[in-house]
Structure 1
Amino acid sequence: MTANKNKKRKLQTPGTRHRSVRVGLFLLLGILLYVSMLDNVQPEQLDVTLSEPAPEDIRSPITVEHEALTAEREQEALDELDPSYVHRNDYVLMQTEKINTIFELATEFQEAQNADTAPLDDHVEQLQATLEEEMDQSLPEETLEILLNENEEQLMIGRDAARNAVHEVMNEEIAVDDVPAAREEAEERISMSMGNTQLQNASAAIASRMVTANYIYDDENTAERREEALDEVEPVLIREGEILAQEGEIIDAEIYEQLSLTGLLDDEFSSFPYLGLLLFVGMIVTMVAFYAGQTSSPLRYSNQALFLYVLVFFIMLATMKVMSVLNLFDMEGILWLTPIALGTMLLAQLISYRVALYTAVLLALVGSVIFNAEATGNFHATFMIYALFSGLAGVFFLGKTPQVAKILQSGAFIALMNGLTVTSFYFLSNAPITLERYGVEIGFAVGSGFLAAVLTLGLMPFFETGFNILSKTKLIELSNANQPLLRKILLEAPGTYHHSIMVANLSEAACEAIGTNGLLARVGAYYHDLGKTKRPQYFIENQMKIDNPHDRRSPDVSKQIIIDHPYDGARMLEEHHFPKQIVDFAKQHHGTSLLKYFYHKAKEKDMEPDEADYRYPGPKAQFKESAVLGIADSVEAAVRSMEAPTGEKIEKLVNDIIRDRLVDGQFDECDLTMKELSIIANTMCETLQGTFHSRIEYPENRDVKEKKANDG
């Protein structure tokens, strides 16, 4: 009992998902990415000198503002801007009110003078002081004396004359420079309207003092206009990709300053490009890790598949680096020869169709950095688009068919897609097309498709052999009836062979219905009961015209023989170096289910059996195809034992088996959903009803049966 438990624990250890190994593989992928792109992000530094010719065409690696030239443009815009002035119409009212006040004060002081015996000079001084205090205004003493000596009627005449003159003059715009002329005009107007010479002089003096500038500088409006003018000034930019100096051009002070602004002359070490690359690589690795953890592909549960993924990525990085070096030798369009589709087609064949699609995007991103020598920035956007179309084209056309001819056809399709992509680049640029150059670049692009297909065909056998990979091509090879182990089952356990064929049909149909790998399930079903060839007579499908040997064995012995067959088969498959997934089918198809027949038989004999001893050690199904195979295995055996299977009986039986396995926890470690279990049940029922359909009994058959019955 203890030995069985230890065996169970050993078999259930998930040896392919050690966390430390997975972390190490993701770190390895990150290191490979970082090293492959490191030299592509190192800041370019030029060895140029003032007044010396440029050694090559020099382009700006970044977009940066030329602040000095921008400041010059702004100053020019401000110099061209005239100040804003405003005509203050309210000033004339203010000044005429002041005139009213002056004459009113003069009238008041005349009344005080009549009641007081103080000399005139004292009243003049008091009036002057009052004007200065209340109006901040002073007038000549002669003018004040005249105002104090004139009667009230004359004062009103003088007031009106001064007011009219100021009003008429200040209705016009008067700038600061125009004030003297305006005052003279006011005096002339008074002289023309008054006859009293003394009062005329006083009114003219008052009007002259009251005329002031009313067309004045508008500080607020001018500030707004300056801001608007500055906003309209476009900053002077040195744009990414702009030619700063052509080859042979003398480096003058202006060019030298532009080189300095774009960082091409910096000798100081900057860590920002390296940190940026680290972040970029970190994001790629993180996205791969998230995808590997969530997808249903082998990346999720197999470190071997993850290592293979890293290896394919490394091959593509090395390929792109080699092509990028060749691209530096001025070979026009050589970068289009890069077989980007090689990586995606390998991954589609070796791991998963969806993984290949996802990786096509990542390879395009990485390639845009590796091939940035011709780009003005850190990313070659044109190559990224080309690589994306090329990688996706290979996966889409290849599909899920593992035929060799399909890979070659994919190469032709990739070549066509590459040629169309390069042609679209030419048309979009709207540049004159040179047939010679266009022909060379199209040739490289077309060659890339065929090169990717040839390399895929060449590398596939090495991956399949070196990693014992279960590709679609390998699956078809393993399904060949001439495989030694299949012939072993056919010759030594023919009933098991027929059972396996039926299970394969059920498993493939159900897996295809839920969108998983039907071919994998079929091949796994062929070999899942290989262990029965060790003692074929102990399994009911092989007990034709012989007694059941279990009748002569105790339940303990019988259950151990039955329990051993999945692991005997797994060991035989491992000895023949079969892929791990096929071995897993053999180990997992019974999970930890209970041998009910022998368990109850032991109970009937009062052996007091422990239920754990009558269960398979497991492991339970770890992936959907294995779980489906386990259902199909039980269903086929149960339906075969039915005497008169009908649609209703089959449907009930299938649902009961699935329900029992679900309640027993046999699906706890795989990703099957309730909806998928329902689809599996329906699909198996349809397949079984087609196999065990009712046959029409013809009259001659009834006659033969009746004759045999009578003879018997």
Structure 2
Amino acid sequence: MRKQNITKDIHKYLKYDWIQFLLTSLICASIFFLVTYSNVYTETYDIEKFSTANETIRSPITIENTKETDSRIREAVQSVEDHYEISLEVADERVSAVHEIFEAIEKVESEDLKKTLSLPSVTIDDKISYLKDLVQDEAIREIDDQVFLSLFEASPENRMLAKELLTTALNDAYHTGVQIEEENKVIESIQQKLHYSTLDNSFVRSLYPLISYGVEPNSFFSADKTNEAQQRARENVEPVMIRAGEIIVEEGKLITNEIYEELKITGLLNEERNIFPLIGLSLLLLLLASMMFLEMWHAKKKKALKLSSLIAIIIISIFIASLMKVVSFYTTTVNPLYFVAPIAVASMLLKILVSERLAIVFSIFYAMVGSVIFNANIPGLLNMEAGVYFLITQLASIYFLANVKDKMAILKAGISISLYNIVTVSLFLLLSFEKYDWLDYLMFSGYGFLSAMFSTVLTIGMLPFFESGLGIISDSKLLSLSSPNQPLLRKLLIEAPGTYHHSIMVANLSEAACEAIGANGLLARVGAYYHDLGKTVRPHYFIENQMGMKNPHDFLDPYESAEIILQHPLDSAEMLRKDKLPKEIIDIALQHHGTTLLKFFYYKAKEVNEKVPESEFRYQGPRPRSKEAAAVSICDSVEAAVRSLNHPNQEEIENIVTSIIKDRVLDGQLNNSSLTLKELETMKSVICETLKGIYHSRIQYPKEESIKEAK
């Protein structure tokens, strides 16, 4: 008893559309989670240092090895040499001082010192003393007098040569910079240069103190320049990255400190890090689920989504997700088998069975899920190439599957899809950096062609399952039911030919009316073909089948006649159920009279008894619950009424159509059909135009007797 109550509660709640949509969205999201779980979940390892790897381990993510990067930065900084700043002022000052000494010697040699110094005779000491007085530099007094003695004793040519060699060597040394710790080396270098000249070695040695006097450090350590150089070295160091999919350790190799550190960095030793990719995947799928729910709610406003359609969405989602997962097991970077995955079957089935808009939306969802499934099991990576390919092939299938009149329409769509697949695959190959030969282009293009063909075959093969197994009525199913060779239609034609032709007329009117308001015209047409099938039980009791015979109702009382007439919608529904026709067709047959009053026999009965209850002369219904059923209901009455006129004109047609629609509205027959007043007005206009085209005025040709008399 308790289980029965629980079952009743479940059925009660499932009647609400929003609960059905929510469950469908959550089931689809759960399916996607199950197939993508392994693509974001990373296996962790219990490994110790200096042990042997039992298997080849790859990095699941792309991450920087900060410790190795820091180590390389330190090495780069340490390799930077100290930077010095050269002082040109020191160089100018020292070279000028040496130059001044040689000029002073020349002046002393050229000047008459006897007069200048007021001495009877001038000795070498007097020249040296006078020289030191001329040069305004205290440091010159520290130079040994032997240097000056050698200079005064040297010939002018040797002095000039010594001057040029010494100043040139000093300029060269100061230009490259003289550091404190290199001062002695620079002095020795200049001495060496002078020894290689034509000057006498003894004379060169006497100049050593002057060389030391001319050399002074002019290159000083620069902290700013050194820091700038170190900073440039830091910036030039590329981060050490561990790439996703990169082998960290091969099977049988030793786990060194470096390898262990990489395993730790990539999270392969930390089981807690696996929760984050799963949370991210859950958020993505919940986002998709919410969008599914909103889209189904939007679709409900325009077209009722039945439970069978929702079940079809779930089955298709399971099939496509499983198909992509299986293909991913055999896909490698060298052999991208996702090009051959027949994912377009999902979009084609959804367009045929549900709606085009939902097919487009779910195409986006399947493409996103596919980009996760084919990510080579690398968390955080989306295979955008696979995602874009899946999206293009599905959108192409939706576009080219325009009118599903027969199986050939699906085959034609498959050929168009294959062209788009080949172009898309070629596009990816041309955009890649890798070089492919013509054999690769042919092979991968073949994948795209096979994908389209597999999608076509699967669509044709799976469509009957959904139509019969779930009772979903598609355009192709409706078209097959509209064939005159259908057993029930042949039965109607043979046993009730007048009703058959009446049904054809109602079908034309109903289809035109439904297409004008955006309803399913094809469903209305096929429903109209079968709506009066119950009249074949007693065909001669209906006036359209009484060809040259008396009306049987003339011999029956109104109650018996009403019972026969009121029974035909029920008989139609019963016959259709017996032959397992779609529920939508059965509903139209059952609802096309609604609960209207059979006025002729009702008023005939009232002639005998004024207190006749209306309920005994009303159809059992129910009232039309869809726009298509309402259209058939109106067109059925309109066609019968107009056909009863001898020569209907435009005014009479408009009056009859207006009267019947008004009567249906006032009687509440259209309250459950969701038709608006604007749609009723549109239907009225289309029905009138169609009837005018059928009953247009024709030329009255004279009879043969009249022609003979005229002659």
Q: TM bucket by the smaller chain? A: 0.5 to 0.7
2:342 matched to which residue of 1? Answer: 339
SS in 2 for 1:642: coil
When structure 1 is superposed on structure 2, of 362-371 and 239-248 the one drifting more is 239-248
Shift of residue 452, structure 1, vs aligned partner: 0.9
Q: Which amino acid aligns with 2:376?
A: A
1:203 matched to which residue of 2? Answer: none
How far apart, in 2, do the equivalents of 1:555 and 1:70 lie? 103
SS in 2 for 1:295: helix
Could you say if the C-alpha distance between residues 598 and 424 of structure 1 is closer, same or farther in structure 2, counting changes exceeding 3 Å?
A: same
Q: Which amino acid aligns with 1:61?
A: I
Unaligned segments of structure 1, at least 5 residues: 1-12, 81-228, 708-712
2:330 matched to which residue of 1? Answer: 326
1:544 aligns with 2:547: yes
1:694 matched to which residue of 2? Answer: 697
1:194 matched to which residue of 2? Answer: none
2:40 matched to which residue of 1? Answer: 41
Could you say if the C-alpha distance between residues 562 and 396 of structure 1 is closer, same or farther in structure 2, counting changes exceeding 3 Å?
A: same
SS in 2 for 1:447: helix
Q: Which amino acid aligns with 1:635?
A: V
SS in 2 for 1:560: helix
Shift of residue 689, structure 1, vs aligned partner: 0.9
1:349 aligns with 2:348: no
> Are 2:654 and 2:688, in contact at CA under 8 Å, matched by a contact in 1?
yes
1:502 aligns with 2:502: no
1:280 aligns with 2:284: yes
Could you say if the C-alpha distance between residues 488 and 55 of structure 1 is closer, same or farther in structure 2, counting changes exceeding 3 Å?
A: same
- The within-5 A match list for 1:558-569 is 558-569=561-572
- The within-5 A match list for 1:584-595 is 584-595=587-598
Q: Which amino acid aligns with 1:504?
A: A
Q: Which amino acid aligns with 2:535?
A: K
Shift of residue 428, structure 1, vs aligned partner: 2.9
Deviations along 1:113-145, whole A, 9 cap, x unmatched?
A: xxxxxxxxxxxxxxxxxxxxxxxxxxxxxxxxx
Could you say if the C-alpha distance between residues 301 and 433 of structure 1 is closer, same or farther in structure 2, counting changes exceeding 3 Å?
A: closer
1:391 aligns with 2:394: yes
How far apart, in 2, do the equivalents of 1:546 and 1:497 lie? 18
Could you say if the C-alpha distance between residues 358 and 24 of structure 1 is closer, same or farther in structure 2, counting changes exceeding 3 Å?
A: closer
> Are 1:333 and 1:444, in contact at CA under 8 Å, matched by a contact in 2?
no
How far apart, in 1, do the equivalents of 2:288 and 2:638 lie? 45
How far apart, in 2, do the equivalents of 1:601 and 1:237 lie? 99
> Are 1:305 and 1:351, in contact at CA under 8 Å, matched by a contact in 2?
yes
- The within-5 A match list for 1:257-406 is 257=261, 259-268=263-272, 270-295=274-299, 300-327=304-331, 332-373=335-376, 377-406=380-409
1:116 matched to which residue of 2? Answer: none
How far apart, in 1, do the equivalents of 2:509 and 2:638 lie? 9
Shift of residue 505, structure 1, vs aligned partner: 0.9
1:61 matched to which residue of 2? Answer: 61
Deviations along 1:18-40, whole A, 9 cap, x unmatched?
A: 76777665554344333222222
2:429 matched to which residue of 1? Answer: 426
Deviations along 1:642-662, whole A, 9 cap, x unmatched?
A: 232112222232233223323
Q: Which amino acid aligns with 1:305?
A: S
Shift of residue 523, structure 1, vs aligned partner: 1.2
1:616 aligns with 2:619: yes
> Are 2:345 and 2:458, in contact at CA under 8 Å, matched by a contact in 1?
yes
Shift of residue 470, structure 1, vs aligned partner: 2.5
Deviations along 1:342-379, whole A, 9 cap, x unmatched?
A: 11122223333333223212211222222222666253
How far apart, in 1, do the equivalents of 2:676 and 2:367 lie? 35
Shift of residue 449, structure 1, vs aligned partner: 0.8
> Are 1:511 and 1:680, in contact at CA under 8 Å, matched by a contact in 2?
yes
How far apart, in 1, do the equivalents of 2:658 and 2:65 lie? 73
> Are 1:332 and 1:440, in contact at CA under 8 Å, matched by a contact in 2?
no
How far apart, in 1, do the equivalents of 2:14 and 2:573 lie? 16
Match of 1:660 among 656, 660, 663: 663
1:410 aligns with 2:413: yes
1:450 aligns with 2:453: yes
Could you say if the C-alpha distance between residues 491 and 242 of structure 1 is closer, same or farther in structure 2, counting changes exceeding 3 Å?
A: closer
SS in 2 for 1:618: coil
Pairs aligned (count): 547
1:516 aligns with 2:534: no
Q: TM-score, normalised by structure 2?
A: 0.68
How far apart, in 2, do the equivalents of 1:628 and 1:14 lie? 31
Shift of residue 474, structure 1, vs aligned partner: 2.2
Q: Which amino acid aligns with 2:382?
A: F
Match of 1:486 among 476, 486, 489: 489
When structure 1 is superposed on structure 2, of 338-347 and 18-27 the one drifting more is 18-27
Could you say if the C-alpha distance between residues 485 and 629 of structure 1 is closer, same or farther in structure 2, counting changes exceeding 3 Å?
A: same
Could you say if the C-alpha distance between residues 461 and 47 of structure 1 is closer, same or farther in structure 2, counting changes exceeding 3 Å?
A: same
Shift of residue 259, structure 1, vs aligned partner: 4.5
Deviations along 1:65-90, whole A, 9 cap, x unmatched?
A: 9599689989x99xx9xxxxxxxxxx
Could you say if the C-alpha distance between residues 63 and 535 of structure 1 is closer, same or farther in structure 2, counting changes exceeding 3 Å?
A: farther
When structure 1 is superposed on structure 2, of 336-345 and 529-538 the one drifting more is 529-538
How far apart, in 1, do the equivalents of 2:430 and 2:603 lie? 79
SS in 1 for 2:485: coil
> Are 2:331 and 2:337, in contact at CA under 8 Å, matched by a contact in 1?
yes
Could you say if the C-alpha distance between residues 691 and 581 of structure 1 is closer, same or farther in structure 2, counting changes exceeding 3 Å?
A: same
2:644 matched to which residue of 1? Answer: 641
- The within-5 A match list for 1:5-404 is 27-45=26-44, 58-59=58-59, 61=61, 66=66, 241=244, 243=246, 245=248, 256-257=260-261, 259-268=263-272, 270-295=274-299, 300-327=304-331, 332-373=335-376, 377-404=380-407
2:580 matched to which residue of 1? Answer: 577
Shift of residue 323, structure 1, vs aligned partner: 0.8
How far apart, in 2, do the equivalents of 1:261 and 1:280 lie? 26
How far apart, in 2, do the equivalents of 1:622 and 1:424 lie? 50
Deviations along 1:4-54, whole A, 9 cap, x unmatched?
A: xxxxxxxxx999957677766555434433322222231343677767789
SS in 1 for 2:565: helix
Q: Which amino acid aligns with 2:628?
A: E
How far apart, in 2, do the equivalents of 1:671 and 1:269 lie? 54
> Are 1:507 and 1:629, in contact at CA under 8 Å, matched by a contact in 2?
yes
> Are 2:249 and 2:259, in contact at CA under 8 Å, matched by a contact in 1?
no
How far apart, in 2, do the equivalents of 1:586 and 1:298 lie? 23
How far apart, in 1, do the equivalents of 2:12 and 2:680 lie? 25
Deviations along 1:468-491, whole A, 9 cap, x unmatched?
A: 443322222211212221121112
Shift of residue 694, structure 1, vs aligned partner: 0.5
How far apart, in 1, do the equivalents of 2:379 and 2:442 lie? 25
> Are 1:62 and 1:377, in contact at CA under 8 Å, matched by a contact in 2?
no
1:601 aligns with 2:604: yes
1:534 matched to which residue of 2? Answer: 537
SS in 1 for 2:272: coil
Q: TM-score, normalised by structure 1?
A: 0.67
SS in 2 for 1:358: helix
1:463 aligns with 2:466: yes
Shift of residue 526, structure 1, vs aligned partner: 0.6
Unaligned segments of structure 2, at least 5 residues: 1-10, 81-231
Shift of residue 569, structure 1, vs aligned partner: 0.5
Shift of residue 336, structure 1, vs aligned partner: 1.0
> Are 2:594 and 2:623, in contact at CA under 8 Å, matched by a contact in 1?
yes
SS in 2 for 1:480: coil
